[in-house]
Structure 1
Amino acid sequence: MATWLTTFSYWLLIQSFVITIILLPLSHLLVSYLPLYLFNYRSHDSPSRYLLFITLFIPFTIIFLLITDLSHIVILLFFVWFSVLLGFIDHQTGYLPDLLVYPLLVLALLFHAMQSNEQLLLAIYGALVSYLIFWFIYGFFKLAIKRRGLAQGDIKLVAAYGAWLGVYILPYLMLLSACLGLLNYILLWIKIRYKPDKIAFGPALASAGIGLMLIKYFKEDWLIKIIL
């Protein structure tokens, strides 16, 4: 697999920039109006175009710089795009639309089916195991403290990332997303000066999912081998 030094090219950077610019207006439109269409949620704050651009451009650039297989590039671009949209929408509304979660799961199965039947089987196992684990956590919180520790949308999104990452990386997804969720909680607490009743877990899941997917794909690098 290629490395940063051998594949760095301004042309690849330009491709990433162009794709991001093309998707930015549609992404902003979806983040702004999907909540209204699906959940009848009216937001008074428009999502930041600059933040949306950055969260798309950085992973897009990594994909363009390090992947040569066109079909893998296309699928991973959609993976990142859907993940970013889900993170923004959940941050705004507290909901994760099935309209984006289910295609993310289908893309995972398609991506692994293109590689081998074994990879497809691991993806299916990853989705099932992650769904069952987080469903158990959901039920535990509901029975023990009479509150939902997770929303059902979170469980479906975890299943989608379980399909992408496989069973073996699932613990890393749980740990990293929990740490990012805790960090988000602390920052929100500092910002509003009192403990928030709940926070959206989708942005933490999306960030962890994107990061770990890219790490998994490029884990032949010696530094990433140390991490995983």
Structure 2
Amino acid sequence: MTYKDIIEPIDINAEAFASIIRSLEEKQSRNKIKTSQIRKKIYEDIPELGEIDQKVIDLSIDFYSNKNKYDKPLSELIAPYSAKKKELLANSSFGENALDGYCDCKKCHDKGFIEHFDAEGNVISTEKCTCLLDAMANYRLLANSRGLSIPEASFESFDLNVFSDKTSGADDLRGLVAGMDKSLSPRAYMKEVAADFKYYVQNFDVNNT
């Protein structure tokens, strides 16, 4: 995959794209620190979690040292401990998934890309996450607004491609306008808005009658 493949759907240069990727990496670093702080607090408040972790470590060491005495795979042996941790978290104020790690985007975990794997765990395809597409579109929109004077603004110069063509799911309402049809992509929605404005301008009565 090259920069051209990544950038082509939303026309920004490689330098701008690299800047966006750096901002995502910085976000990952900040969220790793936040995750560490959250986990420290959780383990302080629920000491049983640390005890369970130690039991899992001891079991894992013994499993690989004395495989012959076990008739189940390690994953099955560990499962009850994992279930107990979830139970402890679910009954706490932190919630069952509190140890999963903090991130702004649940789809890609702030990486900007979503990887798809085969049965053996090999990456078979990669797609840009909506958070990356949004960042690219926002960059282009900002760049366009800086370089466009009012006399140059027109329906002909209005570019729908700065808006994502991905529909937002029910669990991801970022960027949706109040009352907007959630089945529409931002691009489809803005196309309808532009059509309404164009009709209004073309049929505007200067005498307001």
TM-score by length of 1: 0.22
Structure with bigger helix share is 1
Structure with bigger strand share is 2
TM-score by length of 2: 0.24
Larger radius of gyration: 2
